């Protein structure tokens, strides 16, 4: 037993010595920043958390553990307490500019945070949500002009073929837009899960349970849970607006693809009709060419001695070929013309402006909803 106990202590010491290390930044209420490197086991004990709480397996999550708020925004990992904010594994994540120039000033009250008068966790949550919404907005602002420019170049009725390089760019932008839509959906679902549960909103108000003064204010009339709910609803609405803009771009891409296919089908039909006309001309010429074949055989007759027979036979061949070709073209034109619209009685024509005006307006609104962000609607 003594040997087993000694072996267990040795193994624990070995695991502690080789355990991963967190490199983090600590922000206090005044915006002061300190850097630290600690082993995960030490950080667990200091924060009163367990190992599973800092694994950050989800793409985005907001949870509370032991009066601590644990937030994960893809690469951003944060732990919020009533006294400070921890940003973990911030290196090589392109977050230095935001952490050094914006986050510290926002937490100290120099930024434009609405929740500065509220406890510290409100400021920390708002700063992180504001950063993530601005990042999603920046991605959408970069994609929107590229997609509109590519679609405007593709949906040109004068083009007989589609530029493959433009299609490749549109494919890449479409994938980026799908990723953005997925991130916005996850962001909204994460916040909506908290808004649906009043207990989760109460748990996010850390100072209400740790600071007696804040608890007295909450009981006297200042509802911190309501303020937290309003904060989350604000960023949920912003994410919903971004999702609507991304959805409009997706509808615009789908409509433009339909227009591209229609243009290509139109050009393809023109080429097929031209090919059919040439085929009919070749057929009519070959049909009357049999006369020349008959006269070109090595047969003895009195017609080959007359020099006028050559021109007569040649004229009959070309004249007959032309007549047959014209006949075939008229037959083709009759069968390819669109059918006439059905006859509308006079009574229906009189009642049409009153009932059809609303339908026309609704159809125009539906068309401008998908194509209002581009000059493609004018085309």
Instruction: Provide the edge-to-edge strand list for the sheet that holds 21-28.
Output: 33-39, 21-28, 84-88, 76-80, 69-73, 60-64
Between residues 192 and 303, which one has the greater pLDDT?
A: 192
Give Dmax over CA atoms of the chain in angstroms.
Answer: 132
Query: For the segment 27-42, what is each residue's pLDDT rounded down to a tens digit?
Result: 888 878 888 888 888 8
Q: How many CA atoms lie within 13 A of 259 on its CB side?
A: 19
Res 379 pLDDT > 50: no
Least confident stretch, 44-58, 99-113, 299-313, 359-373: 359-373
- Average pLDDT of the residues in 210-229: 69
- Average pLDDT of the residues in 290-318: 72
- Average pLDDT of the residues in 3-8: 45
Long-range CB pairs of 68-77, under 8 A, 24+ apart, other chains included = 68/206, 69/121, 69/124, 69/125, 69/204, 69/206, 71/125, 71/128, 73/128, 73/131, 73/132, 74/183, 76/128, 76/131, 76/132
- Average pLDDT of the residues in 163-186: 86
Given pLDDT bands bounded at 50, 70 and 90, which one contains residue 366?
Answer: very low
Which pTM was predicted? Answer: 0.65
Between residues 118 and 366, which one has the greater pLDDT?
A: 118
As annotated, the residues of the chain forming the CATH 2.40.128.330 domain(s) are 17-110
Between residues 183 and 279, which one has the greater pLDDT?
A: 183
In angstroms, the CA 279 to CA 284 distance is 9
The residue with tokens 């839509």 is 181
Least confident stretch, 11-15, 95-99, 168-172, 339-343: 11-15
Q: Which residues contact 351 (CB under 8 A, 6 or more apart)?
A: none
Question: Thinking of the domain 17-110, which architecture would CATH place it in?
Answer: Beta Barrel (2.40)
Res 11 pLDDT > 80: no
- Highest averaged pLDDT of the listed ranges 74-88, 155-169, 220-234: 74-88
What is the average pLDDT value for the chain, to the nearest integer?
75
> Looking at residue 232, what is its pLDDT?
92
In the chain, % of residues over pLDDT 90? 13
> Looking at residue 373, what is its pLDDT?
41
- 3-state secondary structure string, the chain? CHHHHHHHHHHHHHHHHHCCEEEEEEEECCCCEEEEEEEHHHHHHHHCCCHHHHCCCCCEEEEECCCCEEEEECCEEEEECCCEEEEECCCCCCCHHHHHHHHHHHHHCCCCCCCCCCCHHHHHHHHHHHHHHHHHHHHHHHHHHHHHHHHHHHCCCCCCCCCHHHHHHHHHHHHHHHHHHHHHHHHHHHHHHHHCCHHHHHHHCHHHHHCHHHHHHHHHCCCHHHHHHHHHHHHHHHHHHHHHHHHHHHHHHHHHHHHHHHHHHHHHHHHHHHHHHHHHHHHHHHHHHHHHHHHCCCCCCCHHHCCHHHHHHHHHHHHHHHHHHHHHHHHHHHHHCCCCCCCCCHHHHHHHHHHHHHHHHHHHHHHHHHHCCCCCCCC
Given pLDDT bands bounded at 50, 70 and 90, which one contains residue 112?
Answer: low
In the chain, % of residues over pLDDT 70? 70
As annotated, the residues of the chain forming the CATH 1.20.58.340 domain(s) are 113-264
Given pLDDT bands bounded at 50, 70 and 90, which one contains residue 24?
Answer: confident
Res 81 pLDDT > 70: yes
- Average pLDDT of the residues in 64-90: 86
> Looking at residue 258, what is its pLDDT?
78
Q: Please provide the CATH number assigned to the domain covering 113-264.
A: 1.20.58.340
In angstroms, the CA 213 to CA 204 distance is 17
Q: How many CA atoms lie within 13 A of 92 on its CB side?
A: 1
* Length of the chain in terms of residues written: 379
Res 344 pLDDT > 60: no
In angstroms, the CA 130 to CA 124 distance is 10
Res 64 pLDDT > 70: yes
Given pLDDT bands bounded at 50, 70 and 90, which one contains residue 139?
Answer: very high
Res 43 pLDDT > 70: yes
> Looking at residue 185, what is its pLDDT?
93
């Amino acid at each position: 037993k003594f040997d087993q106990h000694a072996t267990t202590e040795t193994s624990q010491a070995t695991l502690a010595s080789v355990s991963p290390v967190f490199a983090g930044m600590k922000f206090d209420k005044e915006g002061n920043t300190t850097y630290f490197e600690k082993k995960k086991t030490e950080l667990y004990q200091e924060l009163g958390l367990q190992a599973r709480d800092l694994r950050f397996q989800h793409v985005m999550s907001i949870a509370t553990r032991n009066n601590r708020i644990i937030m994960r925004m893809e690469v951003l990992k944060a732990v919020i307490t009533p006294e400070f904010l921890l940003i973990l594994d911030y290196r090589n994540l392109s977050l230095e500019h935001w952490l050094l120039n914006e986050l510290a000033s926002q937490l100290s009250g120099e930024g434009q945070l609405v929740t500065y008068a509220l406890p510290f966790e409100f400021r920390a949550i708002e700063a992180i949500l504001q950063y993530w919404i601005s990042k999603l907005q920046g991605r959408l602002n970069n994609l929107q002009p590229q997609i509109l420019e590519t679609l405007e170049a593709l949906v040109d009725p004068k083009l007989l073929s589609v530029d493959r390089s433009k299609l490749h760019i549109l494919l890449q932008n479409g994938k980026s837009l799908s990723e953005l839509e997925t991130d916005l959906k996850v962001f909204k679902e994460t916040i909506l899960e908290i808004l649906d549960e009043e207990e989760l909103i109460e748990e996010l108000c850390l100072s209400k349970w740790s600071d007696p003064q804040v608890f007295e204010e909450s009981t006297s009339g200042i509802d911190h849970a309501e303020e937290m709910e309003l904060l989350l609803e604000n960023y949920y609405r912003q994410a919903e607006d971004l999702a609507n803009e991304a959805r409009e771009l997706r509808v615009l891409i789908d409509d433009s693809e339909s227009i591209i296919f229609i243009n290509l089908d139109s050009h393809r039909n023109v080429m097929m009709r031209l090919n059919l006309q040439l085929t009919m001309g070749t057929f009519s010429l070959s049909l009357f060419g049999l006369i020349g074949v008959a006269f070109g055989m090595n047969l003895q007759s009195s017609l080959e001695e007359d020099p006028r027979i050559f021109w007569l036979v040649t004229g009959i061949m070309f004249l007959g070929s032309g007549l047959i070709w014209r006949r075939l073209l008229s037959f083709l034109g009759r069968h390819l013309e669109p059918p006439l619209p059905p006859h509308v009685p006079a009574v229906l024509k009189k009642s049409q402006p009153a009932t059809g005006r609303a339908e026309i307006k609704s159809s125009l609104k539906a068309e401008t909803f998908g194509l209002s962000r581009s000059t493609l609607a004018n085309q």
